[in-house]
Chains A and B, each alone.
Chain A
Amino acid sequence: MMQRRKFIKALFAAGAVALLPIKAFADIWNIPAFQADKLQEALAALEISNVTISNDIQIIAPDKAENGAVVQIEVNSHIPNTQSIAIFVENNPTALIANFVFGQGVDGFVVTRIKMAETSDVQAVIKSGNRYFSAKKRVEVLENGCG
């Protein structure tokens, strides 16, 4: 894994620091969160706590995925002021898949394609103000997609 200093240098070289970050969003990749192999460690590294299970978050994913290398996931949050959506796969080698932070005028909605090593819950955690909400969807995986 790349050293933090080297990565920051790479960011400067790429001019990426010139982009205006969304307020309160760390523009540096969260190494501990992405390296955590346990879901709880990944949540802690993102400072996510007191998560409330919510029926206002819809996860659309296949019940069965033939090939875990490409599993399309849609997360649609109906929670007002959805500021971010983090996606986790509990049984992957590293649990955190992605964290999406939204600017003004963008819905709490995302569609992406993820890798799944084995059958697992896919969990979405939504941030709204200082509160966190989550929903889960079980996806049965027939072929390991993490190589």
Chain B
Amino acid sequence: MSENIRMRAQLSGEVTEVKILMSHPMETGRRKNDYGDLIPANFIQLVSASINGNVLLEAQWGTGISKNPYLTFHLRGAKVGDVIHVNWTDNLGKTGEGKIAVTLA
């Protein structure tokens, strides 16, 4: 399922910049289709990032995160080759995951 997350983790000095782009419709449940019917809510609620089994970030999201969610965070102490894992779960129970090795910027 790695195709639904694109990631980059680049080490520069002490800081590794992790950039994540997820494919997800992030439907609020308030939008209508062309026939005037409400489109059911479908959005990511939980996001987790970890490195070598240690949790880096845990996020809870509502419907206010844009379609195809984007996220950047900064991490200290990572080494080139360390692998960062990201998982998400949406309100319908669907999950997505991705991983990326740290590279030099």
Contact = CB atoms under 8 A, between A and B. Distances in A.
A96 B43 CA distance: 14
A34 B57 contact: no
B105 interface: no
Contacts, number: 142
Nearest to B77: A105
A116 to B, nearest CB: 8
Given A13-B93, A111-B71, A112-B70, A103 B31 contact: no
Contact of B55 (A22, A111, A113, A115): A22
B89 A10 contact: yes
Contacts of A109: 72-74
Contacts of B100: none
Contact of A29 (B32, B41, B45, B77): B45
A104 B54 contact: yes
Contacts of A98: 59-62, 64-65
B98 to A, nearest CB: 14
A102 B92 contact: no
Contacts of A22: 55, 58
B101 interface: no
Interface stretch (A49-57, A86-94, A123-131, A133-141): A86-94
Interface of B: 15, 28-32, 41, 45-46, 48, 50, 53-67, 69-78, 87, 89, 91-93, 95
Interface centre among A101, A105, A146 (most CB of B within 10 A): A105
A13 B76 CA distance: 33
A146 B54 contact: no
Contacts of A29: 45-46, 60, 91
A7 B55 contact: no
Contact of A103 (B57, B62, B69, B93): B57
Contacts of A101: 57-59
Given A16-B87, A146-B30, A105 B75 contact: yes
A147 B93 contact: no
Interface in A31-88: 33-34, 69-72
B71 A103 contact: no
